[in-house]
Amino acid sequence: MQKETVMATALAFGATSTTDDVLDGVDLKGKRVLVTGVSAGLGVETARALAAHGAEVIGAARDLDKAKRATEEARAGAANGGSISLIELDLASLKNVRACADALVAAGRPFDVVIANAGVMRTPLWHTEDGFEMQFGTNHLGHFVFVNRIASLIAPGGRLVNVSSAGHRYSDVDLEDPNFEHTPYEPMIAYGRSKTANILFAVEFDRRHKARGVRATALHPGGIPTELARHMEPGEIGKMLEQINAQQAAQGKPPFQWKTIPQGAATSVWAGFVAPAADIGAQYCEDCHVASVTSGEMNIVSGGVREYALDPDHAKALWAKSEEMVGERF
């Protein structure tokens, strides 16, 4: 009966559900959560919602001063024993990533959920401190090293939640040329590769850790106007929306609607604390439900996940390539 009630509640959530809707009546006192990217947007809202329901949130950010300002209201709104503390994490520097992870391991305090939320989108052809293409290096490889180094801290029954994107439909990963050394650089293709990598990382992490009760999932938060789009050219978003709405109209669907930030962060907290673990393990979620596999013409706002992003053999191959690139085995 209890499981049926949980499932019925989970099915009640959708695209317009907010973090507070999803966590209504959920007591997170005693839960410890790590959230990356808490200096803006979804990361701040995720931390706020969890702390407001009693969780101890450790927020990671590259710019601590910015994160302190961004989370000031959220820290003041923590309730039921909840709190938000901040640590420095620069995902574009493996030296910094390893130092941050090592400090957490040395402290030895476990986490119930790790939400890998930080990311960059559509950057020019930049490179990380270690020479990786910036989007793949930050969105995937930085999290790959960080999460694997602290994996022992995720308690049995815990979860890893990777914030991916519908942008994964732009491209599969390219294991032969991950840094665009031999192919022309296209910002959205690079973004798509990194977001596909987020999903594949969750698939393989789930396989490796589910025997001890730790599950992993990835998700699309929805289209939300946040700082993530800061590298896009003026007018580019407008042109993209025109194309999206033309596709929507051709399919008899209503025009695209932006989500609010609380709606965008809802799927992260749903996947972390509300959805049944067995349902979301090694899956891709959107709008507070598990997405179906889709094929055919690429439509960035239509629901679903590409088959290549959930392929277990592909996930193993990406894991091996990632280990090779960072010079570390997990």
pLDDT band at 228 (very low <50, low <70, confident <90, very high): low
Q: Give the amino acid at 127.
A: H
β-pairing, 154-163 vs 111-116, is: parallel
Helices (H), the chain: 2-11, 19-22, 41-52, 64-70, 72-76, 94-107, 134-135, 143-149, 187-209, 236-250, 261-264, 266-269, 277-280, 312-326
195 assigned to active site: yes
- Catalytic one of 31, 170, 171, 195: 195
Mean pLDDT of 220-233: 69
Distance CA 145, CA 95 (A): 10
Which range, of 87-91, 158-162, 275-279, 298-302, averages the lowest pLDDT? 298-302
pLDDT attached to residue 230: 57
pLDDT band at 229 (very low <50, low <70, confident <90, very high): low
Distance CA 152, CA 154 (A): 6
Distance CA 318, CA 233 (A): 31
pLDDT attached to residue 236: 64
pLDDT band at 22 (very low <50, low <70, confident <90, very high): very high
Mean pLDDT of 254-263: 84
- Catalytic one of 39, 93, 164, 268: 164
Ordered by start, the domain boundaries in the chain are: 2-325
- Catalytic one of 93, 165, 171, 191: 191
Mean pLDDT of 205-229: 88
191 assigned to active site: yes
Which residues are 63's β-sheet partners? none
CATH fold of 2-325 reads Rossmann fold (3.40.50)
Confidence check: pLDDT of 322 > 70: yes
